[in-house]
A = this chain, B = another copy of it.
């Protein structure tokens, strides 16, 4: 469906859509013949919704493709991720609400530890706390590069972001993170000719940073990942006629939300805050993105039981959503993170769409296998928003 055609069909109303994202929801059985995390979890509320809802599986990017966090979410927000590439640096900058300008290049920074030979021995600098990170970012504020302004801002724990501003910059620069320990970080190298100036600036930044961090015990090095320019993305308001709000605890997800023009509700620390915010802001918006991170985190830890517990926490949160009587509720994930793989994966993700006008299928339980029997089969993640719009009566008839 082209943007132009869809736009012509939009019908604004005050019906409410809630998109509840359990990050990394999809999983795998830990042993042959076993159940996945979601199938193992006790989820009475989600099961009841599934029984009343339309179910299926979705692929955020494509067949066999493992989505990063940003592409996984962009798909759920209605943007085919291959058409809207978003680099890690931009996601980080948006996450902390840094006001990026056109032409800026952002890059994610990890504080790291190197030994005397310059080899990286800890890619996370002993997971320094956010306060230390913030202090070190101020220290790095002393870096000075002719013709290039640099902003260094803390994100969370050992993670920060640097934004380069100046003429002739480009994101065509390789990561410096070697993705392994026992080896030195790479020098910033241009991927294409237009990246040369940025690579030089990054190199100079790193050189000065090494000096400024010299006396640090753990955070005496930095690694750069995901040089990125601000992409041009039409807002959800423009494309879908929605007034969207993001209720997300983690900075990166607030970042992706900002990219598509959501208003980000600040200061939320957990599901209970999110429930409260839903209540408080219910009248002000008509699309609510509610994000729970920890199913993914526990999946990445390889902790099957803890991931199950996180899914159960979201199940217990469902009544707080239903108390609001949303016109449409979608529950799904942005990608799979099977605990047995300790990583994002390419497996399709279960979803349910619940609303006044959804036509129930024969699925009575929320899980990978039940949803594989759901009426929608396997669909691209980016079309879910169209279903939500339809069930919220926000789309008019096509043609006479």
Residue pair B360, A88 in contact (C-beta under 8 Å): no
Closest B-chain residue to A343, C-beta based? B397
Q: Does A193 have its Cβ within 8 Å of any Cβ on chain B?
A: no
Residue pair B64, A396 in contact (C-beta under 8 Å): no
Residue pair A1, B62 in contact (C-beta under 8 Å): yes
Q: Scan residues 354-400 of chain A and give those whose CB is less than 8 A from a CB of chain B.
A: 357, 359-362, 368-369, 372-379, 383, 386-391, 395-400
Q: Chain B contacts of A63 at CB under 8 A?
A: 1, 379, 383, 386-387, 390
Nearest CB of chain B from residue A100's CB, rounded to whole Å: 15
Q: Chain B contacts of A85 at CB under 8 A?
A: 399
Number of copies: 2
Closest B-chain residue to A387, C-beta based? B64
Residue pair A344, B70 in contact (C-beta under 8 Å): no
- A207 CA to B232 CA in the complex, in Å? 48
User: Which residue of B69, B86, B373, B400 is within 8 Å of A88 (Cβ)?
Assistant: B400
- A32 CA to B49 CA in the complex, in Å? 12
Q: What 5 additional pairs, Cβ within 8 angstroms, besides A57-B375, A61-B398, A359-B368?
A: A63-B386, A64-B391, A86-B400, A226-B400, A377-B377
User: Which residue of B36, B359, B374, B386 is within 8 Å of A347 (Cβ)?
Assistant: B359
Closest B-chain residue to A376, C-beta based? B378
Residue pair A64, B386 in contact (C-beta under 8 Å): yes
Q: Does A5 have its Cβ within 8 Å of any Cβ on chain B?
A: yes
User: Which residue of B36, B64, B377 is within 8 Å of A359 (Cβ)?
Assistant: B36
- A64 CA to B368 CA in the complex, in Å? 23
**A152-165: contact bitstring with B at CB < 8 Å (1 yes, 0 no)?**
00000000000000
Q: Does A326 have its Cβ within 8 Å of any Cβ on chain B?
A: no
Q: Chain B contacts of A338 at CB under 8 A?
A: 357
16 contacts across the A-B interface (CB closer than 8 A): A1-B62, A29-B360, A33-B360, A64-B388, A65-B390, A67-B397, A67-B399, A68-B400, A70-B400, A82-B398, A85-B399, A225-B400, A347-B359, A361-B372, A362-B373, A375-B378
User: Which residue of B71, B347, B375 is within 8 Å of A372 (Cβ)?
Assistant: B375
Residue pair A71, B375 in contact (C-beta under 8 Å): no
- A36 CA to B348 CA in the complex, in Å? 29
Residue pair A383, B65 in contact (C-beta under 8 Å): no
Closest B-chain residue to A108, C-beta based? B400
Chain A binding surface SS class: loop
Q: Does A275 have its Cβ within 8 Å of any Cβ on chain B?
A: no
- A67 CA to B82 CA in the complex, in Å? 28
Q: Chain B contacts of A87 at CB under 8 A?
A: 399-400
Q: Chain B contacts of A395 at CB under 8 A?
A: 64-66, 346
Q: Chain B contacts of A5 at CB under 8 A?
A: 82
Q: Does A341 have its Cβ within 8 Å of any Cβ on chain B?
A: yes
- A360 CA to B35 CA in the complex, in Å? 10
- A226 CA to B70 CA in the complex, in Å? 42
- A66 CA to B63 CA in the complex, in Å? 24
Residue pair B359, A28 in contact (C-beta under 8 Å): yes
Closest 3 CB pairs of A and B: A88-B400, A64-B390, A64-B386
Q: Does A52 have its Cβ within 8 Å of any Cβ on chain B?
A: yes
Known A2-B82, A52-B32; contact A62-B386, beta-carbon cutoff 8 A: yes
Q: Does A91 have its Cβ within 8 Å of any Cβ on chain B?
A: yes
Closest B-chain residue to A81, C-beta based? B399
Q: Does A345 have its Cβ within 8 Å of any Cβ on chain B?
A: yes
- A29 CA to B361 CA in the complex, in Å? 11
Q: Does A305 have its Cβ within 8 Å of any Cβ on chain B?
A: no
